[in-house]
Copies of this chain bind each other. A is one copy, B any other.
């Protein structure tokens, strides 16, 4: 698995929106400034997240973005996979993939499968609600409600 800037930004954005969950929409500019993400890049990311129904938006004055689901209903794994693609370190872990030379006899395949599983076990069991709690605990100055 590889977390790109886009993925990193997406996760931080969702966490920020989770922190403001229930308090009306947050505008891109605020997210961009707070999280130190290039505005135009963040626009694209939010559109992607919107298409996947992680977030919803409202246009015009008093517009902005908000989470489409409760933070407890969104996992780290879901968002990561959506933005950065499959977590498998190599495509042949997927049984349907037929690229490898002699996949049936390959000893590496099952190992990459184990790696994937252990990663999945971690990221699929952490919700943004969990993350929010952790960040409140760690960082007392955390701005979870303006």
Contact = CB atoms under 8 A, between A and B. Distances in A.
A59 interface: no
Nearest to A139: B105
A105 B135 contact: yes
A111 interface: yes
20 contacts: A1-B89, A1-B115, A3-B90, A3-B112, A8-B90, A11-B108, A15-B107, A35-B101, A105-B138, A105-B142, A107-B131, A107-B134, A107-B138, A111-B123, A111-B126, A115-B122, A118-B118, A118-B121, A118-B122, A119-B119
Contacts of A135: 105, 107
A139 B109 CA distance: 14
Chain A's interface: helix, strand, loop or mixed, by majority? helix
Interface of A: 1-3, 8, 11-12, 15, 35-36, 76, 89-90, 101, 105, 107-108, 111-112, 114-115, 118-119, 121-123, 126, 131, 134-135, 138-139, 142
Interface centre among A2, A76, A90 (most CB of B within 10 A): A90
A69 to B, nearest CB: 19
Nearest to A133: B107
A79 to B, nearest CB: 11
A91 to B, nearest CB: 9
